[in-house]
Amino acid sequence: MKRRDFLKKSAGAGIAAGAALSLGGYDKLWAAKPIISKYDMVAVMGGTPEAMFDLGIQELGGMGTFIQKGQKVLIKPNIGWDVIPELAANTNPGLIKRIIEHCFKAGAKEVYVFDHTCDNWVSCYKNSGIEKAAKSARAKVVPANSENYYQEVPIPGGVRLKSAKVHELLLDTDVFINVPVLKDHNSTRMTACLKNMMGVVWDRGFWHENNLNQCIADYALYEKKPALNIVDCYNVMVKHGPMGVSKEDLVQMKSQIISTDWVAADAAAAKMLGVDVEKIEYIPIAHNMGLGNMRLESLNIKRIKM
- The whole-number pLDDT of residue 36 equals 54
- The whole-number pLDDT of residue 110 equals 98
Question: How far apart, in Å, are the Cα atoms of 264 and each of 43, 180, 218?
Answer: 12, 14, 16
pTM attached to this predicted model: 0.90
**Which of 145, 49, 61, 39 lies closest to 100 in space, CA to CA?**
49
Q: What crossing angle do the helices spanning 93-105 and 49-59 adopt, rounded to 10°?
A: 40
Average pLDDT over residues 22-31: 37
d(CA 265, CA 220): 14
For residue 243, pLDDT over 50 is answered with yes
d(CA 204, CA 239): 23
pLDDT tens column, 209-230: 999 999 999 999 999 999 999 9
Write down the CATH superfamily of domain 3-27+39-305. LarA, N-terminal domain (3.40.50.11440)
Side-chain half-sphere CA neighbours of 165 within 13 A: 14
d(CA 90, CA 267): 20
CB atoms within 10 A of CB 282: 25
